[in-house]
Chains A and B, each alone.
Chain A
Amino acid sequence: MAITRDEVEKVSLLARLLLKEPELEQMTGQLGAVLEYIALLDEVDTANVEPMAHPLDVVDAFRDDEVQPSLDRERALANAPNRDDECYRVPAVLGVT
């Protein structure tokens, strides 16, 4: 299954990446090659095979509903690339520039 440059561009938006030439062209080629290799799986008959999302067949790991101390705000915000005294700051979520 080949992937087109257009599809790669669309996926890059979905993945919130920005690919410019020549990266876009290179990515298209490399993803295409990997997908071609992956098509190998088409030859496996998986009818009636249960998917296996996880190696463990364990269930039910819970914690009790107890409040644990939170991070001090200063420590929580310490790694923020942009912040004020109380909050993280990001470009406007409303889409204004």
Chain B
Amino acid sequence: MTEPYVILIGLEVHVQLLTRSKLFCGCSTRFGAPPNTQTCPVCIGMPGSLPVINRQAVQLALRTAVALNCTIPRSTKWDRKQYFYPDLPKGYQISQYDLPLSHCGWLEISDPKGAFASKRVGITRAHLEEDAGKSMHDEAVGRADSRIDLNRAGTPLLEIVSEPDLRSPAEAKCYLTELKLLLGYLGVSDCNMQEGSLRVDANINLHVGTADGPVPTPIVEVKNMNSFRAVERALSYEAERQWRLWQELGVRLGEPGGHKTTRGWDEGRQATYEQRAKEESSDYRYFPDPDLLPVVLPEETVESVRASLGELPAALRARLETGYGITPYDADVLVNQGRALVDYYLAVADACGDGKTACNWIQQGVLRWLNDRQTTIDAYPVPATEFAALLKAVLAGELTTSRGREVLAEMIDHGETVEQAMKRLGIERVDEAELETLCRRLLEANPKIVAQVQAGKEKAVGSLIGQAKKHNPNADPGRVKDICLKLIAGM
């Protein structure tokens, strides 16, 4: 790096866990219902109502925490985080403060293109909490109020806080991509940013190299980023802004004017903007929620969760690289598609016996198809066994690559087996003797061409290939050429 500073980035990611019902009540977590139709006394925070923990939310959180290599304490408890906001109907959020469900983990990230060395990003903690509702500013003329929808209030969230271990916006994006992939493999969240089931806040500052050693600039928390690309851009913008500010003012963290601030990302302007500090410094007055009992997480439970995790992306990538001989880049492409596609790949590769060919064909033939249709592998019409049969035919030289593609297209369009598709295309294996007879006849009919070849113009044989194809569409052009040359040479 040529800049005289190091960037420090830590991310706070909120993911919505895939439960049917909310964290503390039986209301549905389904997205998109009409406002205030998925609420009850508990999530409205009505007087007298009491929370009861959703077992599945704890299970999913635990699954994630174990996969993030976190330490799981023997018991975890619930705290009230107090602040007033109309989308927080109880006046406090049930969260976890000093005894979170997990802490001290890590997630390994690496760039398949090698832009940075692979590294472990520390996970400070991952804890459960309830989501707030939604406030909407009313745009109607003459109305200066907000509308509150509590459907989302009480939805289970897992807050995953990383250490400030990320050194560039690209690393931050890579961390998010890897985290999202992991959560998908674990089946704990759908990570849909548009529906708010994955939200990112970033803390960023610089350590500027000076004669007296590195000096930290004030930390900025960046919010309102609605895609991973936006995170990357916002952080790049913010790093540059902080560098400029440092050069102009030289304010370091903790000095007057150097306290932590919050900025929002404006996607339209591609810039961050200062969010006015709240009217009072936040004092959340956390204390243990007396309505809830601690949750005990015995070693056996943690171990059984660990045993049930299945193969996670990092291990899967390693297996594809070493066991199937594909490049880290290709392994990454496949694994990023999710477990179902990898399973498809594995079935094809195992059956056809060539991991590399299977990988190429799947990237060309399957991924493109899925991408064009914005669908997933379950919708792909060719079963892995048939796909493998096709590759076997290609590998055996029974089909050229281009002919193979035509066959695949037929198989997709008509839901056919390799056999059926070949038949439909009239592709049959041409007997070597039959091919020789055909070539002999063509040479006899084209003495001029024979003469040209004999005069050293080997290319002239090309026009025979076209004629051979006309007689028999299954004739392999390469073979026709070889046979013709051989026959001419023997004349």
Contacts and interface: CB of A to CB of B under 8 A. Distances in A.
Interface of A: 10, 13-14, 16, 53-54, 56, 58-71, 73, 76-77, 82, 84, 86-97
B124 to A, nearest CB: 24
Given A65-B56, A67-B28, 8 more contacts: A62-B54, A69-B26, A70-B40, A73-B34, A73-B36, A82-B145, A87-B148, A93-B86
Contacts, number: 128
Contacts of A91: 144-146
Given A62-B55, A65-B54, A70 B148 contact: no
Contacts of B137: 92-94
B145 A90 contact: yes
The interface centre, meaning the residue of A56, A62, A65, A66 with most chain B CB atoms within 10 A of its CB, is A65
Interface stretch (B17-25, B311-319, B459-467, B471-479): B17-25
Contacts of B264: none
Interface of B: 19-21, 25-28, 34-41, 44, 52-58, 75, 84-87, 135-138, 144-150, 276, 279-280, 283, 285, 287-288, 290, 292-296
A86 B293 CA distance: 35
B86 A90 contact: yes
The interface centre, meaning the residue of A13, A16, A62, A82 with most chain B CB atoms within 10 A of its CB, is A62
B296 A60 contact: yes
B144 A59 contact: no
A87 B135 CA distance: 10
Nearest to A64: B55
B28 A88 contact: no
A29 to B, nearest CB: 24
Contact of B19 (A10, A65, A95): A65
A92 B149 contact: no
Contacts of B20: 65-67
Contacts of B292: 61
A3 to B, nearest CB: 16
Given A91-B146, A93-B135, A59 B35 contact: no
B66 to A, nearest CB: 19
The interface centre, meaning the residue of B41, B44, B295 with most chain A CB atoms within 10 A of its CB, is B44
Listed from nearest, the 9 A-B pairs whose CB atoms lie closest are A68-B26, A65-B56, A87-B147, A62-B55, A88-B148, A86-B35, A90-B86, A53-B288, A93-B146
A61 to B, nearest CB: 5
A61 B53 contact: yes
Contact of A86 (B34, B283, B288): B34
B36 A76 contact: yes
Contacts of B293: 54, 56, 58-61
Contacts of A95: 276
A86 B137 CA distance: 14
B148 A90 contact: yes
Nearest to B17: A65
B295 A59 contact: yes
B26 A87 contact: no
Nearest to B39: A76
Nearest to B294: A59
A17 B38 CA distance: 31
A70 B27 contact: yes
B21 A67 contact: yes
Contact of A65 (B57, B75, B85): B57
A70 B38 contact: yes
